[in-house]
Structure 1
Amino acid sequence: MSEQTQESAPRQGGPAPRRVVVAGAGMAGVQTAVALREQGFTGTVTLIGAEPHQPYDRPPLSKAVLLGKAEGSAFDVDFEALGIELRLGCEVLGLHPADHRLDTEAGPVPYDVLVVATGAEPVRLPGAEGVAGVHLLRTLDDAERLRPVLARQHDIVVVGAGWIGAEFATAAREAGCAVTVVEAADRPLAGALPDEVAAPMAAWYADAGVQLRTHTRVARVESGAVVLDDGTRLPAGAVVVGIGARPATAWLAGSGIVLGAQGEILADEHLHASVPDVYAVGDCASFPSARYGERLLVHHWDNALQGPRTVAVNIVGRATGQAPAVYDPVPYFWSEQFGRFVQYAGHHAGADRMVWRGDPSGPAWTVCWLRDTRLAALLAVGRPRDLAQGRRLIESGVPMDPLLLADPARPLKAATA
């Protein structure tokens, strides 16, 4: 659907809804339910989750939970006190917008307003499904299955040198495992960062005692081994696959909700979907950004935290006739890998200049992207103050002086033109 067609989709409006159903009990779903109560919504709020566990936060899974330093990461939310009905261990199966009905494993669920927050699901390694010892790391159950693997200090092969691959490799090395990371591209984070930014990160693997094999594909996985496309056999007590994620929206087939090329819901600037009375938030939805002049699909924690506030304001504001809130954040995420705290804010596509602050071979540095002298994005390694100041500078859109910006000793906020 084009932006013009998306904008002409039926607008949300009418009387105040009595029943809001949230499909998905991850960060985006939980925060939507909580934000509705914070905005004063007094109707029924039902939160439906496919997993049987109490809703939990995902970032600790690749860190404290995986290493046995925490038993779980349940959200500190008193759902009963907030009057939020939980339906857990209940998978959503289909949607009938004309009837305002959600189909689930436990039967149909009617709604006045539906919020789709089903997140993303990991891409699986072709040919590896059903092979013993092959793991994903997306859910609490995944982390629980991997914990004893690390405790036994197996030889581990990680497929994919993206964010999750690096974080898992970090935890596995901390647990004393021998780790080999296999990456089809020529560098880590090939799909996320430009060559010159991702290239210095390759050295982090060797520094941590991790063998990184780039330009390498997996031919097949066997019991106890991974066979590469050049015939090399890598011993593997376990294989962890981290080759990306896709929006979990297959269940919307036939619903009339328009999806994008990656299966994401094409939400508008208010996070409405393309059918009445349905919103979409978090990893399963993209939104048009006026700030960056393109549609963004953001698979990160902060997006799942911020978007629900816009959705809640717009649901509660429907009956009052107030102008709907627009969602156009500065994207933000972080990663802890190989003893480094990596933070990113903004969106660097379309930038026309890149400025380094510090030596990328050192322990702390930042790279900034400018577009028309304004800061569009930055990646900060071990420089949290740069990130905090840079995020505000992106939001304000003030012109920057590239020469001042390149001085790592100068505060970022003091590098304005």
Structure 2
Amino acid sequence: MAGVVELNRTDRVVVVGAGMAGAQAALGLRQGGWEGRIALVGEEPHRPYDRPPLSKDVLLGKADSTAFDVDWEHLGIELLPGRRATGLERGVLHTDAGELPYDGLVIATGAEPLALPGAAGAHVLRTLDDAMALRALLTAGRSVVLVGAGWIGAETATVARELGCRVTVVEAGPAPLAGALPPELGALMADWYAAAGVELRLGAGVAGVEPGAVLLADGTRLAADEVVVGIGARPATGWLAGGVELDARGAILVDERLRTSLPGVWAAGDCVSYPSARAGVRLTVQHWDHALQSGGAVAASLLGAPTPYDPVPYFWSEQFGRMVQYAGRHADAEEVLWRGSPQDASWAVLWLSGGAPVAALTVDRPRDLNQARRLIERGTPLDRELAADPAVPLKSAAR
């Protein structure tokens, strides 16, 4: 990775990307004693804001803004909204509004939604403006087709049904959350769609979108007043070509302290690929908790902390009246252990390796998730019989 660059706490730091990771980086620097200038550059015209409420309170009309409750001016953090990064060279960030010199740079430009070929005119849900535009269209009686039964698809379907829309979700995979969970677990969630009055079409590819309809690969034509695409995201790093080292998917390669290949440049959030000693591979995580934690960690790294960044990945989703939470990484697990049954009001699944949990999925069992996360972090073996009893606190099953 990059050669070591020693910064003085009076140097100028520019943070490009004003989402959670960028905001936390700027806050962490100032609260950690950084005395120099800090500029927070955002492509959108809004003050830095939180994204998870976009698919919930904003779409429901309960909020028009999710701006962070931070007095940026009092902290001496300069906000530069409405500026798009266009390139990078050592010591200079190029934007569409001119050059910004820096002594230290944090890249936190996040991720951008994947486009669906042949879906011109379809909506995505990534920004506040996206949410406000879609909210105006989700009115009772309108037909909405959502492409992708992932986290965003499920959350948007939940809200659209609550607003009285007729909703169809189209998923190319064999089950909801096909990219995040084993198919047998995702299949359990298909019943949630039916119970909410949402038509779920699995194994259905989209051939194109035309005015008033979505065309499926098998020739089916689905009526659609509105089409929303949620098929994943990619790192928003196209502007960095040749600036720092990227992986094949466009994520910024960083070391254990979130330093890039360009001296004096760090990166955090959805746009990075970081080495995880816990997982034994590089990880790219595109969820709120990672943005929060890596934003704080990158500030600590600039301030000289030697601590490697390697948290237990965590994310959550509120869908169809349920709180779904996941922690860890189940890819290399040796066995699966259930706490309760999918027929219960709440249940959980643990993935174990060497008798210790490496991942957990919980449905309306937040206490289980919190305790599992700590057990995963410590690599604590479990008593399987106790761990399988949902009446026993998970921490009590630790050996």
The alignment's TM-score, normalised by the length of structure 2, stands at: 0.98
Residues 1:202 and 2:190 aligned together: yes
2:286 is aligned, of 299, 312, 334, to 299
| Partners of 2:197 and 2:328 in 1: CA distance | 32
1:191 is aligned, of 162, 179, 184, to 179
Residues 1:381 and 2:368 aligned together: no
* Stretches of structure 2 lacking an aligned partner (at least 5 in a row): none
Show the counterpart of 2:27: 34
| Partners of 2:384 and 2:273 in 1: CA distance | 32
2:49·2:68 contact (CA, 8 Å) conserved in 1? yes
Show the counterpart of 2:118: 127
| Partners of 1:14 and 1:172 in 2: CA distance | 49
Show the counterpart of 1:336: 318
Show the counterpart of 1:146: 134
| Partners of 1:31 and 1:19 in 2: CA distance | 17
Show the counterpart of 1:109: 100
The alignment's TM-score, normalised by the length of structure 1, stands at: 0.94
Residue-by-residue CA offset, 1:149-185 (whole Å, 9 max, x unaligned): 1125410000000000000000000001000000001
Residues 88-103 of structure 1 mapped to structure 2, 5 A cutoff: 88-97=81-90, 100-103=91-94
2:291 counterpart SS class: helix
Show the counterpart of 1:264: 251
User: How far has the Cα of 1:17 moved from its partner?
Assistant: 5.5
1:149 counterpart SS class: coil
Show the counterpart of 1:290: 277
Show the counterpart of 2:231: 243
| Partners of 1:363 and 1:234 in 2: CA distance | 33
| Partners of 1:151 and 1:159 in 2: CA distance | 19
2:369 counterpart SS class: helix
AA partner of residue 235 (structure 1): A
User: How far has the Cα of 1:11 moved from its partner?
Assistant: 2.4
Structure 1 stretches of 4+ with a deviation exceeding 4 A read 14-17
1:167 counterpart SS class: helix
Residue-by-residue CA offset, 1:358-409 (whole Å, 9 max, x unaligned): 1113321000011111111101100011011111111222111222211111
Show the counterpart of 2:215: 227
Show the counterpart of 1:320: none
User: How far has the Cα of 1:298 moved from its partner?
Assistant: 0.8
Show the counterpart of 1:62: 55
2:267 is aligned, of 280, 302, 310, to 280
Residues 299-378 of structure 1 mapped to structure 2, 5 A cutoff: 299-317=286-304, 324-378=306-360
1:67·1:150 contact (CA, 8 Å) conserved in 2? no
Residues 1:21 and 2:9 aligned together: no
2:66 is aligned, of 64, 67, 73, to 73
1:17·1:113 contact (CA, 8 Å) conserved in 2? no
2:192 counterpart SS class: helix
Show the counterpart of 2:204: 216
1:119·1:247 contact (CA, 8 Å) conserved in 2? yes
User: How far has the Cα of 1:15 moved from its partner?
Assistant: 4.3
| Partners of 2:352 and 2:5 in 1: CA distance | 37
Q: What is the alpha-carbon root mean square deviation over aligned residues?
A: 1.1
* Number of aligned residue pairs: 399
2:10·2:35 contact (CA, 8 Å) conserved in 1? no
| Partners of 1:43 and 1:17 in 2: CA distance | 4
User: How far has the Cα of 1:259 moved from its partner?
Assistant: 0.8
Residue-by-residue CA offset, 1:27-55 (whole Å, 9 max, x unaligned): 11111101101101010000000000111
2:147 is aligned, of 159, 162, 186, to 159
| Partners of 1:375 and 1:222 in 2: CA distance | 47
| Partners of 2:127 and 2:295 in 1: CA distance | 21
Cα 1:206–1:245 change in 2 (3 A) is same
2:136 counterpart SS class: helix
2:10·2:34 contact (CA, 8 Å) conserved in 1? no
2:9·2:34 contact (CA, 8 Å) conserved in 1? no
Percent identical across equivalent pairs?
61
Residue-by-residue CA offset, 1:65-108 (whole Å, 9 max, x unaligned): 001011110110110000000110110000002xx100001101
| Partners of 1:409 and 1:316 in 2: CA distance | 45
2:59 counterpart SS class: coil
2:13·2:106 contact (CA, 8 Å) conserved in 1? yes
User: How far has the Cα of 1:213 moved from its partner?
Assistant: 0.2
2:9·2:36 contact (CA, 8 Å) conserved in 1? no
Residue-by-residue CA offset, 1:254-273 (whole Å, 9 max, x unaligned): 21x11112210011100001
